[in-house]
Amino acid sequence: MSEAVLAPSPRVLAVSARGLARRHTGRWALRGVDLDVAVGDSLLVLGANGSGKTTLIRLLGTALTPSAGTLKLFGGDAEAARPRVGMVSHADHHYDDLSARENLLVGASLSPRPGSSVDAALAAVGLDSRANDIVRTFSAGMRKRLSFARLLWKKPELVLLDEPYAGLDPAGGRFVDQLVRDLRAAGSTVVFSTHQVERGAALCDEAVLLEAGRVKWRGNAADALEHAGGPQE
């Protein structure tokens, strides 16, 4: 008697977008984007300035609402999944007159999901010695690290990073590399945009290249440099 052949289990999707589009002041910043990202996978988002990278990241993070198309996160309503999503973007939304620790405590008080220790999150990004300092005194790189601390505290299942290397020194860049590896090892789904094509490709499974708000190419991240043509200005 032959053994039964089991069909492979379908991939569980963290992100499922169909015809996703966003219009800004009479111009389509993103249009007709179809996108699937499986739970635990990582996707690199590439494109020149103005190609729609930030708009796509913000749509996935529910910071923007689509002008057209549909978006599901973890198989359901995107807004309902917001507590499972963490995002680091250009705007850090810190309270400048509060300390680093107070900033995280405010965020923790507003979050419906229990996170890790605030002090542990600050230590993980190298800000433990500045935990009680006012954020207004922080450099751009330190402010970015505080954003990462907030992300680590939340322990999101879907991590969205928009140009995470911006404003960081070489040590900060290496920190981001390790952060992405650690998040993936913990089972998080990671989507991030960067102009550092080769660096991002080494950390991701797949890549998508945007041009004028549309998907120009999608494939293995290892092939991204060939299609993106190197870092875009």
Give me the pLDDT at residue 227, please: 83
Return mean pLDDT, the chain.
90
- List the domain boundaries for the chain: 39-62+83-228
Give me the pLDDT at residue 12, please: 87
Distances in whole angstroms, Cα of residue 168 to Cα of each of 22, 75, 193: 30, 35, 15
Amino acid at 5: V
Q: For 126-154, what is each residue's pLDDT tens digit? A: 999 999 999 999 998 999 999 999 999 98
Distances in whole angstroms, Cα of residue 15 to Cα of each of 7, 19, 35, 66, 167: 23, 13, 7, 14, 28
Helix axes 170-185, 140-154, angle to 10 degrees: 10
Which parts of the chain register pLDDT below 50? Answer: 1-2, 7-8, 231-233
Give me the pLDDT at residue 211, please: 95
The fourth-level CATH superfamily of domain 39-62+83-228 is P-loop containing nucleotide triphosphate hydrolases (3.40.50.300)
* Cα angle for residues 26, 29, 32 (degrees, 5° grid): 110
Rg (CA), the chain: 18
